[in-house]
Amino acid sequence: MNRSLFFIALLFMTLIASCTNSELESQSKEVTMLIVTRDSLETVFAQNKFDSLNYWRQEASNIELSIKRNYYATKVDQNLSRKMNRFKSLQEIIDAESELGGEGEYEEEEKEMTLGRRMMLLNSGFKKEKISLENLQSDLENKLLDSKKSNIYIQSERMKVKQMENQLTQYLFVKNTELTEYIKLCKELRVFADSISKKS
């Protein structure tokens, strides 16, 4: 009778250990997948970095100053007026405050965030998430967390990676649409500013 109870207990403990190992393996795989996703997002970001913000900020200021100094008109040029209005509204994407502020959460709405701020948040986010995921992976390998805590941490990291993916999507949209239009306008207005500067 005692031998039967011993074997039943042993079988029960083996089943529990097997389930625990299976769950741990599943959690480790999920963290590995999150690391791969984070690394892929960072690679896309690195391939799409825009390093000329300061140049275009200064160029915009120079163009505006040149037009103010040299443009005299007896009547309003509607085409130029439209271009200048659009130019000024697009300047907000490389606004001088785009690089300011700490690394904390940014409360401004996504659509109002400047390109420089988006870049700063992505740089900071990738670094923090790399450390966070490596720590979680290490804790799982060393069995420092129980299953419930592991699942909570994994869910939290999954949400952070998803948020970074959304931030990267927004950054790429602004860079590939508004910034492209802004640079095109800058070049057109530079030609105009140079032409009126020669006349005066």
107 pLDDT more than 50: no
Both tokens of residue 52? 């000329």
Q: What is the pLDDT of residues 117-156, one digit of tens each?
A: 899 999 999 999 999 999 999 999 998 888 899 999 999 9
Residue written as token pair 């401004």: 108
Q: What is the pLDDT of residue 4?
A: 59
Q: What is the pLDDT of residues 33-88, one digit of tens each?
A: 999 999 999 999 999 988 888 888 889 889 999 998 988 877 778 998 899 989 88
97 pLDDT more than 60: no
Both tokens of residue 126? 């990738």
- In Å, how far are 15, 22, 64 from 144, measured between CA atoms? 21, 16, 60
Task: Compute the distance between CA of residue 100 and CA of residue 64 in angstroms, rounded to an integer.
Answer: 23
In what helix (H) or strand (E) does residue 192 lie, and over which residues does it extend?
A: helix 180-199
Q: By C-alpha distance, which of 148, 147, 138 is closest to 17?
A: 147
Asked whether the beta carbons of 141 and 28 are under 8 A apart, the reply is yes
What residue type is 89 in one-letter code? S
- What size, in residues, is the chain? 200
CB-based contacts of 179, cutoff 8 Å, min separation 6: 50, 93, 94, 115
22 pLDDT more than 80: no
Q: What is the pLDDT of residue 76?
A: 75
pLDDT greater at residue 97 or residue 69: 69
Both tokens of residue 175? 């860079």
Query: For the whole model, what pTM was predicted?
Result: 0.78
Torsion sign across C-alpha atoms 111, 182, 193, 71: negative
